[in-house]
Amino acid sequence: MARTPSEIIQAALMRGAITADRAAWWQSRAEHGEDITVLDQCAGGIFAPPTLGPHAHHATGAVFAAAVHASPVYRQSAPGGVDPSLYSPTPLLDQVQQHRPALAAAAMAEDPDPPRLFGTRDLPVATASGIDPSVLASVPWQARRAIAAARTRADAYDLLDKFTDAPAMAATDPTIMAHNDGYVNAFSQWLAGSGSGPEGSSAQASATGPYTTEALHSELFGSQRPG
């Protein structure tokens, strides 16, 4: 006898596969006609059934159940030869701290709250397609906003498949990088500083003139921003 969605969700809660605050979200997905039986294959937030591969879009109506814990797990390793900071929750800050530590320290002294990829958050509260935002933690930062904005699950998972191990491809794709203009702009302005911090700590004092968006892009990506 087939179990009800409520029974499936309760079983997942009991074994710790999902958190209590996600139960209503899964119930809503079921009420919209989605197949939530994939929760039976979700143990501790890990979803990797051998017949479906890493993404559940291979099965019609399935819901991706990866990383449904309250705290997303960011990828700890990167493909060979790739800077691990590209998978960081704070990518631009990490990269500037590596390459321009004095500039980063001056900016932090003036304003210890640098812009984040999604405004005031490292990951969005929700995605346009409905996939769990925690999924974005496993992909390079350049692709996160584009995936979050994808209108359908199929589009979102196509981008996940394409860019998860290909940060360089994402960084050189104008359509993907256009989603990051606001973040790069805000971060470059934060680096430039306002001059209102402690005397001698202004980020501008550590740079030769205002730190423009073009300068940041050139340093971090090796080229000017795509037009």
Which pLDDT value is given to residue 8?
A: 87
Which pLDDT value is given to residue 213?
A: 53
Locate 71 and state its tokens: 């705290």
Residues of the chain with pLDDT under 70: 1, 17, 21, 38, 41-80, 194-227
pLDDT, tens only, 142-184: 999 999 999 998 899 899 889 988 888 998 999 999 999 999 9
Q: Cβ(191)–Cβ(93) under 8 Å?
A: no
Q: Cβ(12)–Cβ(18) under 8 Å?
A: yes
Could you tell me which of 97, 113, 114 has the C-alpha nearest to residue 186? 114
Which pLDDT value is given to residue 23?
A: 79
Q: Cβ(90)–Cβ(122) under 8 Å?
A: yes
pLDDT, tens only, 108-131: 999 999 999 998 889 998 899 888
How far from 118 is each of 11, 85, 104, 225, CA to CA, in Å? Answer: 33, 17, 20, 20
The alpha carbon of 53 is separated from its chain's Cα centroid by a whole number of angstroms, namely 21
* Residues with Cβ within 8 Å of residue 173, at least 6 apart in sequence: none
